[in-house]
Structure 1
């Protein structure tokens, strides 16, 4: 509300060791506040059905900008935070109170 950004126009994507039960907990907590996406196992990048029939690609996609604006991945796992704009990253760390 402080920045006048409507959270309903934004999407949070949860992944990395996500279970169905945890996804449901997150949905119950955030579902009425913003748009949500979930990647359980390799389903985030391989939504082609049975993984035994169609082997998922072993790839990593790292988004760094969208429409010319910096984006960031904040992680509680050391080394997984990603952002090519140090000023933006410092701002996010302050806003979300993360190291």
Structure 2
């Protein structure tokens, strides 16, 4: 089953289109994100499309080995609490979307 089939079954086909329309792929790197097979499929699909990855990685969460394999450009921002996450979000918006 490929990415589009999975998203269709979850009634969430818009994710595939959104990934293809943007140059940037945002990842909220929590422990749950790295355990979710759908998130892995999204990541692999975005990597195949050559997207720039911006990862807001929660402190003390390890990225599984090979998870971002094939990604050509990645920037990782670490955060510990919600305030730091909001600060990172503002920084990402200011740098990449304004």
TM-score interval w.r.t. the shorter chain? 0.3 to 0.5
Structure of greater Rg: 1
Name the one with the larger strand percent: 2
TM, length-normalised to structure 1 = 0.33
TM, length-normalised to structure 2 = 0.33
